Structures are given as structure tokens and as C-alpha cells.
């Protein structure tokens, strides 16, 4: 059921929240931290302040709003503690050789008073609309998918001075700051995986190379490359023109093992790329054996050594980018990433980080087996299965509370204008 009480959360939730207690300055902040996370993890269909407070018997809307809007605590410190918690146990530790995925995601938002809101491209609907966009870095290590950092992209139209405003930063600039945070923690990725908005940005790629980072990213089909011909001369052409000119024997068939099996055809070559010194490797991945038949084509660029860049490596590595899409889907669908009743930049950042905390709580217990031992009789292999186990625990404990506190619950319903008969 949607209704609950803060005391219905199982002991594992309290033990996990206790790890954050010394980041907060007051007992009230610690209490509201638990209330907000419990609300995000609960069964309520909506995750905004009003709904969380309305569906939790002992939670006040005004106290919860004060916590997220005005209370003096640092969302950056909370995020650092969250990653330290993950790094504290063998099952959840961030290992060497992980993939760092850089991406952005948007959602619709009406009005023009919310920080960052403006008419811009919204990925989840595939077109421009009024909305909010965030830039994130995400980890995948073959076992777990973990959000690392998030920053709101402030659209120029949302700032007083537009692109000349001191607060305005382009998405690649934000992404570089987030990558620097990962490096400063002592976590160096084996590969940085980029979407087209970043892989096609030459300045961004040069900065990655200055940091001695390897990358693979999507580029535009009209990106210029220079390749050597069989006659030992150089030929300049667009990457799509090169792909179209390749004979059938240049393509390698590769089977992808995702949610559903998929077959792709891949061609790779070492070439010179416009505005980049030296040679890089490009790869073409398409869903048909010939260019004329293909309806889905990805053009990829990487600075990884040619001896590593095989068709199988390209497919296995770049397909890891799908994990950030899975995270966005789960965070938006289950934890209310895009549902909030705040407008300021700081409040939005706080909401995003608390959603990260809620997601990490479930992931941590999925990996350590805590929820499995008490609240499930099957393996919890996915985020949604682990979340359902936690909600089962909350429902059971709330039912126990309800049998002992019928009068309290009746008064709560009466305060909302309903009769508990």
C-alpha cells in the first residue's frame, strides 16, 4: 500500500543511513534525510514533496521542504560519503579498469521559473521542448552500474545574461569537471564512453588525452577523415563516404548479447581525423551486412591502440553505454528523479543527489545480500527485484505498526479529510 510510517523501514535502512549522520549538523536534518530517502523508495506513484509527506503518517511537508530548500547541509559531501560507503566493502568496492560513461538526460518541465529550464533537446522524447537537462558520469565494471556525479545544465535562456552569464557552461565543460572529480578520488577508468555530443567535440577529446584517458565515442557522419589508399596516396572524405565505399569483405559479423540478441556488422580502420594530430581508430557499426541496407549506423572514434580495437572489442565496449540508459529509466520510473517541487539550483542538486543515495542503497544491499537473506526466497538479480524486496519489508512492518496504532492512523486519515472505518 502507498501509506507508510518512517518507523516501518527495516533495520538495514537505519544502519545504512547512520553512515551519513556525521555529514549533517543537526538531529532534525538526519531525521528528514531518512524521511526523504524512505519516501523515494516507497510505493507512492509520485515522489514529490507533497506526495511523500501525504503518504507517510509521521512526516511533515513543511519540515521536509525546509530540509531540501533551506537547511544548511552540503549535497556534495553527501555524494562523497555515498561513494565512500560503496568503496568500504569488498562486494561493492570500485575496482580498477572500470568504464566511465559520460551522458546527459533531460525531461520536460513547464514554466520558466525552475533553474536550468528552457527550450532544448530532450533525449527521452527525441526532440526539442521546454525542459531540464542534467549531465552525469556513470560507472560500469561488469558487475555493477553506479551513478557517480550529476550537474544541472543551465540553458542559456534560463540565465539573466544568456551565454555571457558567468554561470553558463557548455555540457562538455561540465562533463570535464565531473570526470576530474572521479580522478581526484583516485579512481582512473580504463575507458571513457561518450555519446555523440561529447565524442564529436574535438576540444573535449583533446582534454581527455591530456589527462591520459582512453575513450570511445560517437562522431557525426560528416566528420572528415584522411585515409591512405592502396596507391600510397592520401584521400580526404567524410566518414560516411568511407563506410559506403567499403567492400563486403571489410565487414565483420558480431553477435551482441544484450537484453535481446542482436547481430551487427563492424568495420575498423586507423585514419587521421580532422582537427586531431596523429592517427586514431574509427569504427562503423551497422545493423545490416551492407551500407545500402543498414537503417541504424553508429560512427565511432577511439584513441585506443589498434592492436586492441577489434570489431568484437568495439561492440562489447560501446554497448556498455546502455547501462546509463537503464539507470535513467530506473531512477525516473521508480525513484522520482524528474519529480520534485523545488526550483532553485541548490534544491534541484540536492534532490538529484538524494535520488542517487536511494539508488545506491538498493544497489548496495543487492550486492551484499542483505535484503535477500530476510525478505526474498529467490536471488535478487536486478535493481527492481531488490527494490521490491525492500518495499515488501516496509509493507510488512507497516502492517505490524498499523495493527497496534489504529487510532493514530485513523487520526492521520481524518486530518486528510477521510474516514477510516
The DSSP secondary structure of 98-153, one letter per residue, reads -EEEEEEEEEE--SS-STT-EEEEETTTTEEEEEEEEEEEEEE-SS-EEEEEEEEE
DSSP class of 278: S
Per-domain residue ranges of the chain: 6-73+369-415, 83-331
CA-nearest of 139, 156, 161 to 148 is 139
C-alpha cell read off for 144: 555493477
Global pTM value: 0.94
On whether the CB atoms of residues 287 and 295 are closer than 8 A, the answer is yes
d(CA 34, CA 16): 10
Q: Classify 162 in phi/psi space as left (phi over 0), alpha (psi -120 to 50) or beta.
A: left
For residue 62, CA distances in Å to 6, 74, 412, 413 come to 16, 20, 16, 18
Domain range 83-331, CATH class = alpha beta
* 421 residues of the chain, pLDDT tens digit each: 577 888 889 999 999 999 999 999 999 999 999 999 999 999 988 889 999 998 888 899 999 999 999 999 999 999 999 999 999 999 999 999 999 999 999 999 988 889 999 999 888 888 899 999 999 999 999 999 999 999 999 999 889 999 999 999 999 999 999 999 999 999 999 999 999 889 999 999 999 999 999 999 999 999 999 887 666 667 889 999 999 999 999 999 999 877 778 899 999 999 999 888 899 999 999 999 999 999 999 999 999 999 999 999 999 999 999 999 999 999 999 999 999 889 999 999 999 999 999 999 999 999 998 888 888 888 999 999 999 999 999 999 888 888 888 888 888 778 878 887 6
Amino acid at each position: 500500500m502507498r501509506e507508510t510510517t518512517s518507523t516501518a523501514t527495516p533495520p538495514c535502512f537505519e544502519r545504512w543511513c547512520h553512515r551519513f549522520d556525521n555529514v549533517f549538523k543537526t538531529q532534525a536534518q538526519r531525521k528528514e534525510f531518512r524521511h526523504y530517502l524512505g519516501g523515494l523508495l516507497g510505493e507512492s506513484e509520485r515522489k514529490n514533496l507533497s506526495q511523500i509527506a501525504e503518504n507517510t503518517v509521521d512526516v511533515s511537508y513543511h519540515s521536509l521542504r525546509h530540509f531540501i530548500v533551506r537547511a544548511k547541509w552540503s549535497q556534495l559531501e553527501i555524494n562523497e560519503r555515498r561513494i565512500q560507503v560503496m568503496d568500504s566493502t569488498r562486494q561493492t568496492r570500485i575496482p580498477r579498469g572500470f568504464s566511465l560513461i559520460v551522458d546527459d538526460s533531460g525531461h520536460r518541465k513547464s514554466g520558466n521559473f525552475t533553474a536550468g529550464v528552457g527550450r532544448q533537446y530532450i533525449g527521452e522524447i527525441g526532440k526539442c521542448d521546454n525542459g531540464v537537462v542534467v549531465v552525469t558520469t556513470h560507472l560500469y565494471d561488469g558487475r555493477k552500474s553506479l551513478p557517480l556525479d550529476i550537474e544541472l545544465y543551465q540553458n542559456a535562456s534560463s540565465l539573466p545574461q544568456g551565454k555571457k552569464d558567468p554561470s553558463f557552461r557548455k555540457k562538455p565543460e561540465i562533463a570535464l569537471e565531473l570526470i576530474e572529480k572521479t580522478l581526484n578520488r583516485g579512481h582512473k577508468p580504463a575507458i571513457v564512453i561518450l555519446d555523440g555530443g561529447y565524442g564529436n567535440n574535438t576540444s573535449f577529446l583533446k582534454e581527455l588525452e591530456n589527462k591520459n584517458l582512453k575513450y570511445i565515442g560517437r562522431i557525426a557522419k560528416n566528420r572528415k577523415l584522411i585515409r591512405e589508399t592502396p596507391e600510397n596516396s592520401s584521400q580526404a572524405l567524410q566518414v560516411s563516404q568511407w563506410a559506403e565505399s567499403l567492400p563486403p569483405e571489410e565487414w565483420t559479423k558480431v553477435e551482441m548479447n544484450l537484453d535481446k540478441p542482436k547481430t551487427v556488422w563492424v568495420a575498423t580502420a586507423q585514419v587521421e581525423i580532422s582537427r586531431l594530430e596523429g592517427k586514431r581508430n574509427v569504427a562503423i557499426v551497422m545493423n545490416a551486412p551492407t551500407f545500402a541496407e543498414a537503417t541504424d549506423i553508429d560512427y565511432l572514434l577511439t584513441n585506443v591502440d589498434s592492436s586492441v580495437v577489434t570489431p568484437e572489442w568495439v561492440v562489447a565496449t560501446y554497448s556498455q553505454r546502455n547501462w546509463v540508459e537503464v539507470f535513467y529509466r530506473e531512477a525516473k520510473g521508480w525513484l522520482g528523479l524528474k519529480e520534485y517541487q523545488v526550483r532553485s539550483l541548490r534544491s534541484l542538486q540536492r534532490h538529484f543527489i538524494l535520488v542517487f543515495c536511494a539508488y545506491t542503497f538498493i544497489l548496495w544491499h543487492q550486492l551484499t545480500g542483505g535484503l535477500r537473506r530476510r525478505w526474498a526466497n529467490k536471488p535478487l538479480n536486478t535493481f527492481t527485484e531488490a527494490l521490491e524486496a525492500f518495499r515488501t519489508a516496509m509493507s510488512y512492518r507497516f502492517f505490524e505498526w498499523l495493527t497496534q496504532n489504529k487510532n493514530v492512523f485513523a487520526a492521520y486519515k481524518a486530518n486528510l479529510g477521510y474516514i477510516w472505518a
